[in-house]
Amino acid sequence: MSVQTSQPNDTNSLKNSLTAQGRLTIVGCGLHPGHMTMETESHIKNADIVLVVAPNPLSIQHIRQLNPNVENLGLLYEGDVNRLQTYHLMADRMVELASHGQNVCAIYYGHPGIFVLSTHMAREQLEEADIPVTMLPGISADACLFADLNLDPATTGCQSYEATQFLLSKRSIDTGASLILWQVGLVGEHTLKGQKPGKHGLAALTKLLQQDYPDDHKMCIYEAPTLPGFAPHIDWITLVELPSAKVSSISTLVIPPSSDLVFAKERLTWLKITNEDLSAWDDA
The contacts of residue 70 (CB under 8 Å, 6+ apart) are 49, 50, 51, 52, 60, 63, 64
Q: CA 246 from chain center: how many Å?
A: 21
Question: Which residue in 23, 108, 109, 123 is the catalytic one?
Answer: 109
Angstrom distance (rounded) from CA 136 to CA 106: 10
Annotation says 87 is catalytic? yes
Beta pairing partners, 52:
72, 107
Strands (E), the chain: 23-28, 49-53, 70-72, 103-108, 133-135, 158-162, 178-182, 218-223, 233-238, 252-255
Question: Which residue in 87, 108, 213, 222 is the catalytic one?
Answer: 87
* Total H helices, total E strands in the chain: 10, 10
Question: Which residue in 23, 83, 93, 123 is the catalytic one?
Answer: 83
Which residue, 214, 215, 222, is CA-closest to 259?
Answer: 214
Annotation says 77 is catalytic? no
Annotation says 93 is catalytic? no
Alpha-carbon torsion, ordered 130, 71, 1, 100, to 10 deg: -30
Catalytic residues: 83, 87, 109
